[in-house]
Every structure is written in C-alpha cells, then in structure tokens.
Amino acid sequence: MINKLDYNRLSKSFNDKSKPYRYVVIDNFFEKSLIDKLYNEYPSGDNKDWYKSRDDIHGTKNVLEQGLWALSKKEHIPDLWLNVLLKLNSLEFCRLLERLTGISDLLPDDYNETGQWSGLRVMKKGSYQLIHSDSRVHPHLNLEKKLTIVGYLNKNWMEEDSGCLEIWNSDMTKCVKKVEPLFNRVILFENTETSYHGVPKVNNYRRSFLASYLKDEKDFKETRSKALFVKRPNEPDKKLIDEISKLRANLTDY
C-alpha cells in the first residue's frame, strides 16, 4: 500500500532534537497506482455527505476556524478510501509507526471503527484554522492521543495557493516550518501540550486525510479532550480569540 520507507533516515528526522516537537514529512507515501486511484475517488466538493465545522459558536463568529469540511462516518466514505483508512488505523500500521518513531505500544483509534479523528478533510478557498495543539486525551476511550498523520492530495499546488501547515515553537514566537500540502505527501507528528500547528490561510481547494494513534500511559494525567488554540504575535482579534477558545473548550459534542 505504501512505498518502501527509509526507516533510519525518517527516524532520525522525526527525533531531531532541534525541532520544537517531533515530526517528519514523508513524500511519495502511497504507491503510485494507489494514490492515483485515491485521487480519482476523492469525493467532490458538492457531495452532500460533507459536514461543515462550526462557523459560529453560540451566535459569535468562530474566529478560530472557518470553512472546514469533513467526512468521518464509514457509510459516507468511498470504499477504497475506507479500506485504506482502516489499514492505516490498524495494529499492523502501529507497528510500522513504532519502528519509525521509536515510540512503543501504540494503539489504533478503533472508536466507531474508523476512529474519533480519522477521515477525509477539505479546506475551501478562504478557509483557515488558527494555531493550536490537538486534544490530549481521547474523549471516549480515555487514552492519550500520541500521534497524528495528515496526508495531502493536491496536484499542481503553487505557492500562491497558501494552505501550508505551519509549525510553531513552544513559546509561540516563531513559525519554524511551513509544510506545503503537496500531492502524496504526509506529515507525522507527536501530540504534546505544545505541538502547535495550524493552517492560517487557504487560497485553493485543499484535500487531505488524517488518522490518529493512541497510547495507554498509566501515569498520563492530562484530561484535555479538545484542541487548545493559541495566538500568534500580532494576531488580530486577540480578545475574541480568547473568548471563542473558552466557549469552544466547553462544548459537549465532538
């Protein structure tokens, strides 16, 4: 399903201590025959099964994220995509990730089969998601959310399309990396309290998929089951960002 990986090189990159948190970018992830089929079977933008993230929260504009669309229910995901997502969300793939990252005892997110956070994601022109760290604990399984993989299916992506995944340092003073959402590229990153990332600007139709991986840590104390949004330097609407962040953190649905 995936191309042969250079585990030594990728492990060295993932565990590079100069990075603000552990991550690695992998190009040419899927075999060519598969990625071409996945591209052709990616649901169109007018598919009625896409559901949209909240543009407002309790009547106030959600300045944290706009224009995000998702497919997560297995009955709405095309068969080929569902098969791939289930393989990514398996113990076998967890063993591969353990070899690549050096993190032991990873578990797939098997909540509702496809997982709490897995599926297809689209960001349309004009959409954005501000910088945040992901939820730290699974809201249903009460396990640590340890790793996330995000993949891209965007052919002929250009600089003016924006849509980069920005990676920020732990004190939010600098964007240290911008990852372009290029065709057949994935990024794998560790979830920590300060694994800050986001997509502040999109100027084209941006296709992606994602899956997350868990760990049963006996001494894990974290209880945050929602993303934590943070502010960039010179961020507009700082007061509103704080207000919406508090409202979002207290929502009861996922």
**254 domain-assigned:** no
Whether residue 252 is predicted with pLDDT greater than 90 in this model: the reply is no
**208 domain-assigned:** yes
- If one counts the domains in the chain, the total is 1
Q: What is the pTM of this model?
A: 0.95
Strands 185-190 and 206-215: unpaired
Are residues 67 and 124 in contact, defined by beta-carbon separation less than 8 angstroms? yes
What would the pLDDT profile of 3-24 be if each residue is shown by its tens digit? 999 999 999 999 999 999 999 9
Are residues 66 and 124 in contact, defined by beta-carbon separation less than 8 angstroms? no
Task: Give the pLDDT mean for 182-191.
Answer: 98
Q: How many residues does the chain have?
A: 254
The CATH number linked to 224 is: 2.60.120.620
| Alpha-carbon gap, residue 213 to 116, rounded angstroms | 10
What would the pLDDT profile of 129-179 be if each residue is shown by its tens digit? 999 999 999 989 999 999 999 999 999 999 999 999 999 999 999 999 999
Dihedral, CA of residue 39, residue 45, residue 50 and residue 52, to nearest 10: 120
**2 domain-assigned:** no
Give me the chain's average pLDDT, please. 94
The fraction of the chain above a pLDDT of 70, given in percent, is 99
- What range does the domain containing 157 cover? 7-247
Task: Give the pLDDT mean for 29-42.
Answer: 97
Q: How many Cβ atoms are within 10 Å of 26's Cβ, its own excluded?
A: 20
What would the pLDDT profile of 76-100 be if each residue is shown by its tens digit? 999 999 999 999 999 999 999 999 9
Whether residue 55 is predicted with pLDDT greater than 90 in this model: the reply is no
pLDDT of residue 168: 98
Structure tokens at 134: 């992901």
**1 domain-assigned:** no
Structure tokens at 208: 């992606």
Report the SS3 class of residue 161. helix
**121 domain-assigned:** yes
The fraction of the chain above a pLDDT of 90, given in percent, is 81
**252 domain-assigned:** no
Structure tokens at 86: 């289930």
pLDDT class for 254, splitting at 50, 70, 90? low
**62 domain-assigned:** yes
Structure tokens at 22: 């552990």
Q: How many Cβ atoms are within 10 Å of 92's Cβ, its own excluded?
A: 9
pLDDT of residue 221: 84
